[in-house]
Amino acid sequence: MKLTTARSFFLHSTAVVLAIVALAKFVSAFGTVAVLKVYDPFLAYFTIRQLVLIAASLEIFVAGLIWILPAKRQALKISAVMWLALLLLFYRLGHYFGDFIEPCHCLGTVPSAIGLNPDFADFSLKLFLAYMLVGTLTLLMVGYFEKSFFKTQGP
């Protein structure tokens, strides 16, 4: 598989999953479940609803960048995915080291609405986070050795 094909596959698969997860979050955020009104134990200034809306907006933004920017801006696309993945990682680490044992409310109420086990949904999102982190790190390291990868070539 060519490197450009691998980059393209990674970016587009990431954008599709981000868009699906963001859609699930938007649907969930406008629900009436009481847990959405609870303040997040890690970021205590925000309710779960507010964090779900912020996360969904960021995910749609990154997915949009991947789809809208031209192919020659792959370094920017990969960097945007890395930025989002690091935000999500630090949030998860904050929950982990804060001893918050509940599954992440990352998808809001959607898992229970479709009969999905919340632990399975949480594990799936952790797996996707690992996919984003490993993928971006690998592509950025490989791109470092390409002379033209980090050069901007116009708008």
Residue range of the domain that includes 31: 3-144
Is there a domain that residue 26 lies in?
yes
Is there a domain that residue 151 lies in?
no
Please say if the pLDDT value at position 38 is more than 70.
yes
Q: Total domain count for the chain?
A: 1
Across residues 23-48, what is the average pLDDT? 83
The pTM (predicted TM-score) of the whole model is: 0.85
Cα–Cα distance, 122 to 40 (Å, whole number): 16
| Strand, helix or coil for residue 39 | strand
Return the pLDDT at 127.
93
Cα–Cα distance, 1 to 133 (Å, whole number): 20
Please say if the pLDDT value at position 28 is more than 60.
yes
> Partners of 39 in the beta sheet?
47
Would you state the structure tokens that stand for residue 93, as one six-digit string? 């680490």
Is there a domain that residue 139 lies in?
yes
Q: Count CA within 13 A, CB hemisphere, residue 141.
A: 6
Binned at pLDDT 50, 70 and 90, residue 54 comes out as very high
pLDDT above 70 covers a percentage of the chain that reads 85
60-83: per-residue pLDDT in tens? 999 999 999 887 788 889 999 999
> Partners of 47 in the beta sheet?
39
Return the pLDDT at 153.
52
